[in-house]
Amino acid sequence: MVFKKMLSAFGVGGPSVDTVLTNPNTRPGLTLDGQVNLVGGDAEAAIEQVVIGLVTRVEVEGHDTEYAGTMEFHRMAVSGSLVLAPKQQLSIPFQLPVPWETPITDVYGQRLHGMTMGLRTELAIARAVDKSDLDQVAVHPLPVHERILEAFQRLGFRFKHADLERGHIRGVQQTLPFYQEIEFFASPQYASTIREVELTFVTSQRGVEVILECDKRGGFLSAGHDAFGRYQVSHTDVDRVDWAQVVDGWLRETTSRYGSLRSQYGPSHGHGHSRGHGMGGLVAGAALGVAGGMIAGEMIEESFEGDFGDFGGDE
């Protein structure tokens, strides 16, 4: 009996948790709906809290090093303390608001190469290890994101890779402690001036701030460098403009205004990124319940096994 109690303290014969999403597909600003299903173990269990949280993989740049870790960036308690009787079954429904700045993971039904997203459920059991469950989530673009991504394709750009960079873009109002970079190879018509373009969306209820970073080719007497542009668009602009024309204008303006824009983004941080990696985003993110920094990624990454397709990507 004592041995059984000890096993229970280590989670053997304890309660189990399984979260079922009504639909794993969502968009920034919408919700994820589902239910957390609990099943009691061999003995009565005092559960302190049931919490769900969105987790993703984030790149972190340090002093001459870069590594990826798993970060929880949004969490919500779905239940306070409760007592689960042996073998008792309990379902707790939830509706998790998806932050407006949540990065896009899927375009046209295909996973963006380099992106992962999951919903983790934690069961905090008194005097025992936490039980957890991880479910894959797909975040699709809002209409304005879709139009801008389509414009890049119409202009002949080829998708290369997407990732999340930990840090804060100086001068941009961010609520999350990271930003997404969607990278494209330049199309032939821009190849004489641009090698690659990195596209960042910082989305809010009002609209989207679009940040472009163009890797410019050097000329006969000038070295290559990064050029930046920042543009505001409203969600209501979706069907009002020719997006290919707008994006073409952004690219031409960005590459011609290198000198005046670079200073806005502060000192360079590796790989030619001239974006400020300050604490501002982390502090703001804490209001949304950002957990204590990076988590050891191995356990979570195992749940992200498999290749989820590629948005026309190249390694």
* Residue 128, pLDDT above cutoff 90: no
Angstrom distance (rounded) from CA 200 to CA 209:
8
| Of 91-105, 156-170, 220-234, the least confident | 220-234
pLDDT at 272: 36
CB 170 within 8 A of CB 265: yes
Report residue 132's pLDDT band, with 50, 70 and 90 as the boundaries.
confident
Pick the CATH number of 1-140 from 1.10.10.10, 2.40.50.140, 2.60.40.1180, 2.60.40.640: 2.60.40.640
Residue-wise pLDDT tens digits, 14-29: 888 999 999 999 999 9
Residue 63: which pLDDT band, with cuts at 50, 70 and 90? low
Helix, strand, coil shares, percent, the chain, to 5: 20, 40, 40
* pLDDT at position 71: 93
Q: In the predicted model, what is the mean pLDDT of residues 258-282?
A: 35
Q: Name the β-bridge partners of 38.
A: 17, 90
Neighbouring C-alpha atoms within 13 Å toward the C-beta of 231: 21
Show me where the domains of the chain are located.
1-140, 143-262
Q: Residues of the chain with pLDDT > 90: what percent?
A: 58
In whole angstroms, give the CA distance from residue 244 to residue 207: 18
Nearest to 100 by CA among 70, 141, 69, 56: 141
pLDDT, averaged across the chain: 79
Q: Which residues of 204-219 are buried (b: 16+ CB within 10 A; e: fewer)?
A: beebbbbbbbbbbbee
Terminal CA-to-CA distance of the chain, rounded, Å?
56
pLDDT digits 0-9 by tens, 146-194:
999 999 999 999 999 999 999 999 889 999 999 999 999 999 989 888 8
